[in-house]
Amino acid sequence: MKIQKQISRKIFIRWTVRLILGISLWIWYRLTRFQTELENKIEFVHGEDIPLGVSYFGKYYIFHSENSTRAFSTTCTHAGCRIGKGSEAILQCNCHGSQFDGASGKPLKGPAIKPLQEFDCSFNKQSGQWIVKFHRDPS
């Protein structure tokens, strides 16, 4: 005669919830990792005629001077809010008032203490276009 061991309803529900939670976390991890990989491959192309000073393009801006052209994130390093143009080459976060130097991305006034993330920005001589490549900071 075979004896079956029964588990209580409480234990069954506990293990089912753990299983569903584990699968959900695994799916979330895979999706966010996939999104990060996609964002790391994003390239934006701009014509040769980028004006001098700060030019906004949504998630990033380009600072173009006679000596250099650099691209930076428009996400404030303090709380992740979107920054906007203040006066001339000073950029300001609308959430907490942090100010950044547009040319270098360095903070001028807190509460932000880290500089804005810089993206790769290079000129392709063959196509005559500026290319901005997104990448993530390892920190």
Beta 118-124 vs 69-73: how paired, if at all?
antiparallel
pLDDT at 14: 92
Same domain (yes/no): 125, 69: yes
Contact 132, 125 (CB under 8 A): no
Same domain (yes/no): 8, 56: no
Same domain (yes/no): 8, 61: no
Decide if 139 is inside a domain.
no
Same domain (yes/no): 15, 77: no
Same domain (yes/no): 8, 64: no
Of 66, 97, 104, the residue nearest 83 (C-alpha) = 97
Same domain (yes/no): 34, 57: no
**pLDDT tens profile 75-111:** 888 888 888 776 777 888 888 888 898 888 899 888 8
Range of 8's domain? Answer: 1-41
pLDDT at 138: 45
- Average pLDDT, rounded, for the chain: 81
Decide if 138 is inside a domain.
no
**pLDDT tens profile 16-58:** 999 999 999 988 887 777 666 666 667 777 777 777 888 778 7
**Gap between the Cα atoms of 78 and 72, Å rounded:** 15
